Amino acid sequence: MACPGTRAAGGGRRAAPEGARYLIFMDPVIQHDPAGHRFFADLSGKFAELRYAERDDGTVDLHHTFVPPDLRGGGVAGALAAHALDWARASGHKVLPSCPFVAAYIRRHPEYADIVAA
């Protein structure tokens, strides 16, 4: 499944969409919706989310991150990733970071490497 990210190929920031305005949410309130298999943040009526699937072996596949285009670049996706990874660790799960954003987040934050499934 494709995972929209906040970075363009090569790791650089994408150009802002025409007319976009960026808001920085320093500490977005992240909520967990276990029934919906997602973590989400309500950003003034716009929703950002990180979706996951629980596999039979107890591994959690973090497979999709979305932040509305006009709110990207403010750290929301990183906050979602950190929250999901902290939850996985506290719950004793290993993670499969199939979302490219989450995989890149883990590379930038090696303190989560120990919970990545082999």
List residues bridging with 48 in a β-sheet: 41
The pLDDT score that the predictor gives to residue 18 is 54
| CATH class belonging to 36-115 | alpha beta
For 73, residues 6+ apart whose C-beta sits below 8 A from its C-beta are 6, 13, 16, 22
Give the rounded percent of residues in the chain with a pLDDT score beyond 90: 75
The pLDDT score that the predictor gives to residue 1 is 40
The pLDDT score that the predictor gives to residue 9 is 38
CA 76, 17, 8: angle at the middle one, nearest 5? 65
Name the nearest CA neighbour of 48 among 101, 90, 89: 101
- C-alpha span between 74 and 67 (Å, rounded): 10
Tens-place pLDDT, residues 12-65: 444 445 544 445 555 889 999 999 999 999 999 999 999 999 999 999 999 999
User: pLDDT band at 118, cuts 50/70/90?
Assistant: confident
In this prediction, residues 61-73 reach a mean pLDDT of 96
Give me 23's structure tokens.
Answer: 């808001």
User: How many other CB atoms are found less than 10 A from the CB of residue 85?
Assistant: 24
Round the average pLDDT of the chain to a whole number and report it: 85
Amino acid of residue 99: C
